[in-house]
């Protein structure tokens, strides 16, 4: 049988696509199929030889040659049957994927240090030369895998490419101004000694991993038995006059070189407890059977009166109540052994006044920190 030249065609298929379309470029690690199509030789049994470059031959009796693409598989391929001419060459280019990784995050604050890393996936041990792009324009003189931005200033879209890789992904770096902080004081910026004070720091940022710092003047406060911290709130227990001063706060993010802006200073004023004075009407002495009005006069602290009620007990402690006015307690006897007076037929409380009807004996009534002695006098007609 004489030999006859038949038309030979090499088809390059990629199984990545369901349609098995012809391609000349595939991505690393994707399957590839080479098909040797001998046109006009359908009824002849052929032995095929495929060629990658001049001296690389693969013999098979199958018309298809499949493999998983690697960067090293890039090259020029052709095939022929035992009695056919060699096919036209097909160039296969295997590219790899370049991915930009960002440290510490794609959302950063102005002035932070940012590291961009060009990760060429499937690049193996090849020594790559890198190119970096900002908003589509090449960044000159940057050829290393890592691109360090020591003080980032503006938002941009970054991408990278290895010498033989494609630009497969981009990353948007969003740069924001340092967030502001706001410090609030509860229950008020002016308190009594002994009250509990809450300082709350609110940072205007959608980050949730802030660590808070508290300052009195220029000194950073440390937690203690009286100073306790719960997330963004600092609690000052049993406030003292020495706690008065200017307070600020700010936030840090662990592992990052960034702090929020410091809050505006908030003044905390801690005053001594107000003193109460007891007055008697009519003036002492009084007579048996008379009606006596005792009035408890507390130093003028109108801001506290409006904020909440404070109950003053015989131990000179103040207890916080969610009421709008002062609450009064009345005691009969000496401070070390006294009786709390309650409303009754003879004793009537009305705000800051206790009314005693029908005085019968000498008593000592205490309210607050001062007392006055009342004595009954025998009345002779």
- Identify whether the C-beta of residue 110 lies closer than 8 Å to the C-beta of residue 42: no
13 vs 174 pLDDT, higher one? 174
What CATH fold (topology level) applies to the domain 96-176? Immunoglobulin-like (2.60.40)
Phi-psi region of 40 (alpha: psi -120 to 50; beta: other; left: phi over 0): left
Closest CA to 94 of 117, 123, 65: 123
- What 131-140 contacts at long range (C-beta under 8 Å, 24+ apart), as own/partner pairs, is 131/160, 131/161, 132/158, 132/159, 132/160, 133/158, 133/159, 133/160, 133/161, 133/167, 134/158
For the stretch 285-296, pLDDT in tens is 788 888 999 888
How far apart CA 54 and CA 193 sit, in angstroms, is 94
Gap between the Cα atoms of 286 and 291, Å rounded = 9
The tens digit of pLDDT for each residue in 75-134 reads 777 777 776 776 677 777 777 778 899 999 999 999 999 999 998 876 666 677 889 999
Residue 250 and residue 244: Cα distance in Å, rounded? 19
Domains of the chain, residue spans: 7-88, 96-176, 181-271, 276-377
Structure tokens at 293: 């009005």
Q: Would you state the pLDDT for residue 45?
A: 53
Report pLDDT for 244. 96
Residues 181-271: name the CATH superfamily. Immunoglobulins (2.60.40.10)
Residue 72: both structure tokens together: 């090293």
Instruction: Tell me if the pTM is above 0.75.
Output: no
pLDDT in tens, 139-162: 999 999 999 998 888 999 999 888
The yes-or-no verdict on residue 23 having pLDDT over 70 is no
CATH 2.60.40.10 assigned to domain 7-88? The reply is: yes
> Where residue 311 falls among pLDDT bands split at 50, 70, 90?
very low
Contact 223, 229 (CB under 8 A): yes
276-377 CATH:
2.60.40
């Amino acid at each position: 049988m004489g030999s006859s030249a038949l038309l030979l065609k090499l088809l390059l298929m990629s199984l990545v696509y369901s349609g098995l379309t012809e391609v000349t470029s595939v991505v690393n690690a994707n399957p590839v199929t080479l098909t040797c199509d001998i046109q006009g030789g359908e009824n002849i049994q052929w032995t095929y030889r495929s060629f990658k470059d001049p001296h690389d031959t693969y013999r098979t009796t199958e018309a298809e040659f499949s493999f998983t693409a690697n960067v090293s598989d890039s090259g020029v391929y052709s095939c022929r049957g035992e009695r056919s001419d060699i096919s036209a060459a097909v160039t296969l280019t295997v590219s790899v994927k370049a991915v930009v990784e960002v440290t510490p995050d794609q959302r950063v604050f102005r002035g932070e240090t940012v590291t961009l890393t060009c990760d060429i996936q499937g690049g193996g041990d090849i020594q790559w030369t890198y190119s970096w792009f900002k908003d589509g324009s090449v960044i000159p003189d940057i050829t290393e895998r890592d691109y360090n931005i020591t003080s980032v200033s503006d938002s941009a879209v970054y991408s990278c490419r290895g010498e033989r890789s494609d630009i497969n992904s981009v990353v948007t770096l969003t740069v924001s101004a340092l967030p502001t902080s706001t410090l609030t004081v509860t229950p008020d910026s002016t308190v009594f000694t002994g009250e509990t004070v809450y300082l709350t720091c609110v940072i205007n940022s959608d980050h949730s991993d802030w660590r808070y710092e508290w300052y009195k003047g220029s000194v950073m406060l440390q937690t203690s038995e009286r100073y306790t911290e719960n997330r963004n709130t600092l609690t000052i227990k049993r406030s003292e006059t020495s706690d008065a001063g200017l307070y600020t706060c700010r936030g840090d993010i662990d592992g990052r070189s960034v702090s929020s802006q410091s809050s505006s200073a908030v003044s905390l004023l801690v005053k001594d407890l107000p003193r109460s004075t007891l007055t008697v009407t009519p003036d002492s002495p009084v007579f048996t059977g008379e009606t006596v009005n005792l009035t408890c006069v507390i130093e003028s602290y109108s801001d506290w009166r409006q904020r909440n009620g404070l109950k003053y007990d015989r131990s000179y402690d103040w207890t916080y109540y969610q009421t709008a006015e002062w609450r009064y307690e009345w005691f009969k006897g000496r401070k070390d052994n006294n009786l709390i007076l309650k409303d009754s037929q003879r004793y009537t409380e009305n705000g800051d006044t206790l009314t005693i009807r029908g005085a019968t004996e000498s008593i000592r009534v205490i309210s607050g920190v001062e007392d006055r002695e009342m004595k009954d006098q025998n009345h002779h007609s």
